Structure 1
Amino acid sequence: MKALIVYYSMYGHIHALAQGILEGVRQVPGAEVDLRRVPETLSDDILAKMGATEAQKKLQEVQVCTVDELVEADAIIFGTPTRYGNMCGQMRQFLDATVGLWAEDKLVGKVGSVFTSSATQHGGQETTILTFIPFLMHMGMITVGLPYSFKGQTRMDEITGGSPYGISTIVGPKGERMPSENELEGARFQGRHVAEIASKLFR
């Protein structure tokens, strides 16, 4: 079973969750997984003004995804930061390039899942995933979230991301907060859960 994690990260928060997802997938016997990022659409000047230059240098070590790679995977786990309660423009542009895959039913029957981040507790984590799911459905994918068997999403002793729709992290108004251990454990759980389901379907 082959899984693919496809994400966009500006400051490294989604990248950190992607690493957790990666670890979770690798816990499933026989599962292979690759990490890919979607192409950047902002200029270096704009990224510099947004204070993202240093983070982007590290993130560029991850190979850029092509739409053809989606076809080769049995499970695809997408990660995107929240932009006004929706996915970021970079992810939207990447998905808009998959019309050829849709026309030929190339993603039908594959497992799909989503994770995200937002600046605040109520900054659109759930709506970002919920508005991403129609893409998965239009592609004929089998949508998998983060079940309540991950008990970390019911914790009350700390501020934490995560919902039945997928793991998330709260980064703070200035991006100062990286994913907590509970959120990373949720990412590992989601990666493992997706890989287990995809492995059963693959068999």
Structure 2
Amino acid sequence: MSGKTPLVYVIYYSTFGHVEKMAHHVVKGVERSGVDVKLFRVAETLTEDILKKMKAIPKPSDVPVIKTEQLTEPDGFLFGLPTRFGTTPAQLKALFDSCGSLWLSGALYGKFAGTFFSTATQGGGQETTALSCVPFFVHQGIRYVPLGYKYPKINNNEVVHGGSPWGAGTLANPDGSRQPTELELEMAEIQGFEFGNLMKQIKK
């Protein structure tokens, strides 16, 4: 490796703001590790009319939409996603499905990726949502990086919280009324920090 400062892209999709909030804390963690980081959001596939009916939050104008060709630029990605019935939402899947040319050229081979996520409830599919991204990573030759148990508060059973060895997570409640807690946001920052440290080790 060249010794050049690694670059990480934090790429998220968020309907009601939970994953967006987590993404900002993931970015903080990556920054704290001393690694370059850029924040992107995934393009929306729903119409404005449907989003209004869903009471979705407005998309932030200061966070650019990721383009397929930009995925070749960083050394690693951290993808933030809400669950859709325990699996990848259509918006992120659309980004993945647009990567056929990158697969053909092997452009993403050897890069690294992790996931963080949001579900309505504890049993709402946090781990399966992360797992549903793995086939894309495998076919592209991207190496999946879990959080593991580096953050010991994953084991905290005194309070209800999201997150697992698969990555940081939050619980939104079925109506979206619950916001990420201090513990969940701390977990997101730790994930970003540890991912950044790994990128530094690899780029030595």
TM-score range, shorter chain: over 0.9
TM-score, length basis structure 2: 0.95
Q: 2:33 corresponds to which letter in structure 1?
A: V
Q: 1:45 aligns with which of 49, 52, 74?
A: 49
Report how many residues are paired: 199
For residue 149 of structure 1, report the CA deviation from its aligned partner.
2.1
Match of 1:182, as an amino acid? L
Query: TM-score if structure 1 supplies the norm length?
Result: 0.95
Structure 1 residue ranges, 4+ long, deviating more than 6 angstroms after superposition = none
Q: Is the 8 A contact 1:7 1:37 kept in 2?
A: yes
Q: CA deviation at 1:70?
A: 1.0
Q: Tell me the equivalent position of 1:14.
A: 19
In structure 2, distance between residues paired with 1:120 and 1:61: 30
Distance 2:21 2:118 in 1: 11
Deviations 1:104-132 (A, max 9, x none): 11111111111110011101111000111
1:1-203 matched pairs, under 5 angstroms: 1-29=6-34, 31-52=35-56, 55-57=57-59, 59-203=60-204
Deviates more, 1:84-93 or 1:143-152: 143-152
Q: Does the residue aligned with 1:73 lie in a helix, a strand or coil? A: coil
Contact 1:111/1:194 (CA < 8 Å) preserved in 2?
A: no
Unpaired stretches in structure 2, ≥5 consecutive residues: 1-5
Alpha-carbon deviation of 1:60? 3.7
User: Match of 2:36, as an amino acid?
Assistant: E
Fraction of identical pairs, as percent: 38
Give SS of 1:56's match. Answer: coil
The Cα of 1:195 is off from its aligned counterpart by: 1.0
Amino acid at match of 2:179: M
SS at match of 1:113: strand
Aligned counterparts of 2:126 and 2:150: Cα–Cα separation in 1: 20
Calculate the aligned-residue CA RMSD, in Å. 1.0
